[in-house]
Amino acid sequence: MKKTHQHNVECIILAAGLSTRMGDWKLMLDYKGKTLLDHSIDNALQFCERIILVVGHKGELLEKRYRNNSAIFVVLNQHYHDGMLSSIQEGVKHISTPYFFITHGDLPCLSYPIFKDIWMQRQHKVVIPTYQQQRGHPVLFCASVIQLISCASKEETMKELITKQAHLFFATNYPQISQDIDTKEQYKVLINNG
């Protein structure tokens, strides 16, 4: 991993899901000699000082894989079946910086400039990057929203919580922000374009 200038910001990477649309455990699929999750972590660590990796499905394997990396703090979400918000709620318990990103473990092409451009908009409580009016990741949050996230009910979604805060839809020129790998077809496109 190429080290770039890290900032006083952490990144929650969600890696707890079952990969049901893929049919295989997508986080460990190979991409350029590493796994999709390895790329997602390495890319975030170019900008962020620490990763909070929230695991659930096959969590013990991921904990074992990353336990010796001091820049990665692995959090087990015992309730990952309750959905993504439950993983985010587990992750925010461990935030120690004034701002934090949230992204997914199946976005292997998020580069340093993407994180930097979103970071430059941090005067807003929540910054949601978009590409051609489609929302993407990483999303930047001010730590002041942690209480709202922590107290949310299982029935609420992050989209609903975000609309309760001052937020910015930040138009970018990065198609990578919405190129998560959910299906075998998307994985084939990634490999062929890689």
Quick one: pLDDT at residue 154? 86
Provide the number of structural domains found in the chain: 1
Residue 156 covered by a domain: yes
**Locate tokens 């796994």: which residue?**
35
What is the DSSP code string of the chain? Answer: ------EEEEEEEEE----TTTSS-GGG-EETTEEHHHHHHHHHHTTEEEEEEEEBTBHHHHHHHHTT-TTEEEEE-TTGGG-HHHHHHHHHTT--SSEEEEEETT-TT--HHHHHHHHTTTTSSEEEEEETTEE-SPEEEEGGGHHHHHT--TT--HHHHHHTS-EEEEE-S-GGGG----SHHHHHHHHHH-
Nearest to 6, CA basis, from 53, 51, 45:
45
**pLDDT for 65-94, tens place per residue?**
999 999 999 999 999 888 899 999 999 999
3 lies in some domain = no
Which range marks the domain in which residue 13 is found?
A: 8-193
Q: How far apart are alpha carbons 182 and 14 in whole angstroms?
A: 14
Percent of the chain with pLDDT over 90: 66
Q: Specify if 70 maps to a domain.
A: yes
- Whole-number pLDDT of residue 3: 52
What confidence score (pLDDT) does residue 1 get? Answer: 46
Share of the chain above pLDDT 70, in %: 93
pLDDT for 168 beyond 80: yes
Distance (Å, rounded) from C-alpha 137 to C-alpha 93? 20
CATH of the domain at 93: 3.90.550.10
Evaluate if residue 4 carries a pLDDT over 80. no
Q: What is the pTM of this model?
A: 0.92
**What's the pLDDT score for residue 25?**
67
The answer to whether residue 127 is domain-embedded is yes
